[in-house]
Amino acid sequence: MEIGFNAEETRFREECREWLHANVPEEKRPLHAADALEFDKAWQRRLFDAGWAGINWPVEYGGRGLSIVQQVIWLEEYAQADAPWIGANFVGVNHGGPTLIMNASEEQKAYHLPRILKGDAIWCQGFSEPGAGSDLAGINTRGRIEGDALVVNGSKIWTSFAHVADWQELVLRTEEGSLRHKGLSWVICDMHAPGISISPIRKMSGQVEFAQVFYDDVRIPLENVVGGLGNGWRVAMSTLSFERGTGFIADQVKQSQEIDELISTARANGKIRDDRIAGELGQMRAEVAALRAMTYRNISTVIRTGQPGPESSVIRLFTSELGQRLERMGVLLMGSAALDFRYGDDNIVHDYLRGFAATIAGGTAQIQRDIIAERLLGLPKSR
């Protein structure tokens, strides 16, 4: 991959920048998920109507069919413009939809993909379970075949936006007696189906964004299975690779902006004269640049192979842990003013508290290290 962009890509960047400058909402996205739902839907619809939703998705499903390089440019400009996080649309747009494009039937794609892009259907992820955590191979939620349906029983936890979702990408065990990654299936679950109950969980930042979901004899049509019964592990791996691929580009642009703001703050309050603080700020600035370079390398892998490889776990791990250190530095620079924080405030303390979830969501830091050790370094499996 060449480092840099050609004339066509540069013109595309200018097109992105011009539209974002004219359309990014002046009002901030509400902090709480329930309050933000209508905001998220309205913003997603504006993106779709202008042709900016799913720019790399196939044209027949509402996308623009553009290249992954153009997707990267769009995400970079999106973050630079301080455009809103897509919030409740995150799961559907960033990995549910791409997973359907790669693995679903034509009927499944035709029904779900346009609804995701328009913001008409909110999706959540049903991977983590009580007792299994991020160990997807350890899940126990089961689906037994009865006629033309799976009858599902069990529970999922840490399910972001479950209380507002219409659909769920649900991984469950469909083969009796199967162990680990064998006998799993990836299915589309209607979150309004009888037998589903949802218990929201309040985070230490004061927000309610995720929940525990219970399944009591929930009937899911067999036609909702994606990629075939028993192939859930393979389909789920493609889901997670999308999340760990281009899904963090906007975060990296934000981190680059954040480190510049932290350095400005340290200069303004004189703490830059502390050698330890100055050293840490310099180290983090270098790491932000290294992270962007690793991401571009990963993008070149996607261009060659068609999908992200296990290298994306390095980016996933590095981005989340660097983000936590940046937010911790922000609180340190605030000094005693950090003690005035109130739950619900939109400031660095809020980001610091929320940042603890970054090394848990989408696979814990330990899971990422296991993937790196086994699939990149060729070390023996840990279990």
Instruction: Supply φ then ψ for residue 224, to 5 degrees.
Output: -90, -5
Instruction: Encode 121-155: b = buried (16+ Cβ within 10 Å), e = exposed.
Output: bbbbbbbbbeebbbbbeebebbbeeeeebbbbbbb
Q: What mean pLDDT comes out for the span 183-191?
A: 96
Judge if 197 and 254 occupy the same domain.
Answer: no
Residue 105 placed within a domain: yes
Q: What is residue 283's predicted lDDT score, i.e. its pLDDT?
A: 95
Q: State the Cα–Cα distance between residues 255 and 245, nearest whole angstrom.
A: 17
Number of domains in the chain: 3
Question: Is residue 383 situated within a structural domain?
Answer: no
CA distances from 75 to 63, 68, 81, 85, 87 (A): 15, 10, 10, 11, 15
Residues 130, 188 within the same domain? yes
Question: What gap in Å lies between CA 304 and CA 255, rounded to an integer?
Answer: 28
Question: Is residue 253 located within the same domain as residue 337?
Answer: yes
Q: Are residues 128 and 69 in the same domain?
A: no
Residue 50 token pair: 């202008």
Q: Is the pLDDT score of 250 beyond 90?
A: no
Radius of gyration from C-alpha coordinates of the chain: 21
Instruction: Give the mean model confidence (pLDDT) for residues 206-210.
Output: 76
Q: Which of the pair, 186 or 353, is modelled with greater confidence?
A: 186
187 and 228 both lie in a single domain: yes
**pLDDT at residue number 342:** 66
- Global pTM? 0.84
Q: Are residues 279 and 210 in the same domain?
A: no
- Say whether pLDDT at 2 is over 60: no
Q: Do 79 and 149 share a domain, yes or no?
A: no
d(CA 249, CA 72): 7
Band of residue 204 on the pLDDT scale cut at 50, 70, 90: confident
306-324 pLDDT, tens per residue?
666 677 788 888 888 998 9
224 and 110 part of one domain: no
Stretch 261-286: mean pLDDT: 94
Give the per-residue SS3 of 122-178: CEEEECCECCCECCHHHCCCEEEEECCEEEEEEEEEEEECHHHCCEEEEEEECCCCC
- Distance between terminal CA atoms of the chain? 37
Which of 182-191, 291-300, 339-348 has the lowest average pLDDT? 339-348
Q: Catalytic positions, please?
A: 243
The whole-angstrom separation of Cα 282 and Cα 60 is 47
Query: Which of the two residues, 297 and 200, has the higher pLDDT score?
Result: 200
Average pLDDT of span 145-174: 94
pLDDT of residue 306: 67
Domain boundary among 57, 92, 118: 118
Q: Could you tell me the CATH number of the domain that includes residue 44? A: 1.10.540.10
Share of the chain above pLDDT 90, in %: 50
| 101 and 61 Cβ atoms separated by less than 8 Å | yes
Overall average pLDDT of the 28-47 stretch: 87
Instruction: Out of 42-56, 128-142, 333-347, pick the least confident.
Output: 333-347
- For residue 246, give both structure tokens: 């281009």
Domain assignment of residue 278, yes or no: yes
Token readout for 256 is: 């680059």
Structural domain contains residue 254: yes
Point out the least confidently predicted range of 25-29, 154-158, 229-233, 259-263.
Answer: 25-29
Residues 258 and 352 in one domain: yes
Q: Any idea what the CATH number is for the domain that residue 267 is in? A: 1.20.140.10
Using one digit for the tens of pLDDT, what is the confidence trace for 48-89? 999 999 898 999 998 999 988 898 899 889 989 999 988 899
Residue 1 falls within a domain, yes or no?
Answer: no
Residues 227 and 283 grouped into a single domain: no
266: in domain: yes
Q: What is the C-alpha separation between 283 and 290, in angstroms, rounded?
A: 11
Structural domain harbouring 370? 244-377
Residue 8 is encoded by which pair of tokens? 């066509």
Of 118, 134, 158, the last residue of a domain is 118
Residue 209 has pLDDT above 90, yes or no: no
Kindly state whether residues 336 and 352 are assigned to the same domain: yes
State which of 233, 259, 290 marks the end of a domain: 233
Neighbour tally for 365: CB within 10 Å: 16
Domain-embedded: residue 215: yes
- Is 331 a domain residue? yes
Do 260 and 316 fall into the same domain?
yes
